[in-house]
Amino acid sequence: MNVTREMKSFPFDLLLDADPSFENVKEYLERGECYIANQNGKVIGVYVLLQKGSSVEIVNIAIDESDRGQGIGTKLLQDALLRAKQMGAETVEIGTGNSSIGQLALYQKCGFRMMEIQHGYFEDYDEDIIENGIVCRDRIRLSVSIN
């Protein structure tokens, strides 16, 4: 697998898997840095970084459905932490829904700790999001120090 910065051919199918808001995705692609993971000529993953002062936020991360559960998400998160460090960041943030049990597990396994709950964050989305039988309403912000 090799990870490279992508400036124009963004994998929207993957990006929208992580964030169903096309408006949000378009907006942060303009301001952030998008990295894609390729394996045997196929895009298998993506993440987007957005710098905010001394912190970098992973605003999107997604792995192709057929390639999940093999440690690729973990590898991309580690790659994102390394790049954030090279960007001079002291902390890296990530946010996910209250219903995203697997993501909450993965981020904590990668060292992230819960910082804040943004109550009702997902209630403005056009369609209800239900995962693991749980309605997604609130956003959990997590962060890790990379000093």
Q: Is 78 in the site for ligand COA (CB under 6 A)?
A: no
Pick one of 29, 56, 61, 80: the residue that binds ligand COA (CB under 6 A): 61
Name the nearest CA neighbour of 63 among 75, 53, 55.
75
- Minimum Å gap between C-beta 100 and ligand COA is 6
Please check whether residue 88 is in contact with residue 120, taking contact to mean a CB–CB distance below 8 angstroms: no
CB 116 within 8 A of CB 67: no
Among 3, 18, 56, 59, binds ligand COA (CB under 6 A): 18
Residues 19-38 interacting with ligand COA (rule: CB under 6 A): none
Return the residues of window 104-143 that contact ligand COA according to CB under 6 A: 105-106, 109
Rounded CA-CA distance 1/97 in Å is 28
- Between CA 77 and CA 79 the distance in angstroms is 5
Do 35 and 4 touch, CB atoms closer than 8 A?
yes
For ligand COA, give the closer residue by CB, 100 or 143: 100
Which positions lie near ligand COA, rule CB under 6 A?
17-18, 61-63, 68-74, 96, 100-103, 105-106, 109
